[in-house]
Amino acid sequence: MSLFDLFRKKQTSEPPLKKRLASMRCKRVNYVACDFEDLCGQMQQAADKGGDADCLVKLTPVNYYALKDEYIEAAFYSDEEHEENYVIFRLIKFDKPVRASGIYPVSKDILRKAYEKLGAVNF
């Protein structure tokens, strides 16, 4: 290692999906805490089978100030037409992220149902 190696840019090989997520719109929603492992397992099964993730619709949204001790934060990533949608879950305890899930695909219909629980969403 020479002295000039300190100033070189490190090569980071970021997966193409993460690069695409960076260019998408993100909406963060807080949900009442449930079994995080079970939720991730159900989302993974739905992703593997190519089916809809109905467990996402069963989650109960909550205001951040109502439940600060422990909650699940979902980050929904969508393109402009909501044709390509993804979600990432994080388990938050006392304002610190404890666990994070993988990136799960979400269909447009399930995303619409999840947003309808929050209020008026028209897309």
State the pLDDT at residue 70: 92
- Phi/psi of residue 111, nearest 5 degrees: -65, -40
State the pLDDT at residue 123: 64
State the pLDDT at residue 79: 92
> pTM to 2 decimals?
0.81
Beta strands 70-78 and 25-32 are antiparallel
Q: Is the separation of the CB atoms in 103 and 56 below 8 Å?
A: no
123 residues of the chain, pLDDT tens digit each: 566 666 666 665 657 888 888 899 999 999 999 999 999 999 999 888 877 788 899 999 998 777 778 999 999 999 998 899 999 999 999 889 999 999 999 999 999 999 998 886 666
Residue count of the chain:
123
For the chain, domain boundaries? 15-116
- How far from 27 is each of 11, 35, 87, 114, CA to CA, in Å? 30, 22, 10, 12
State the pLDDT at residue 1: 55
Quote the radius of gyration of the chain (alpha carbons, Å). Answer: 17
Distance of CA 111 to the CA centre of its chain: 12
Indicate the SS3 state at residue 19.
helix
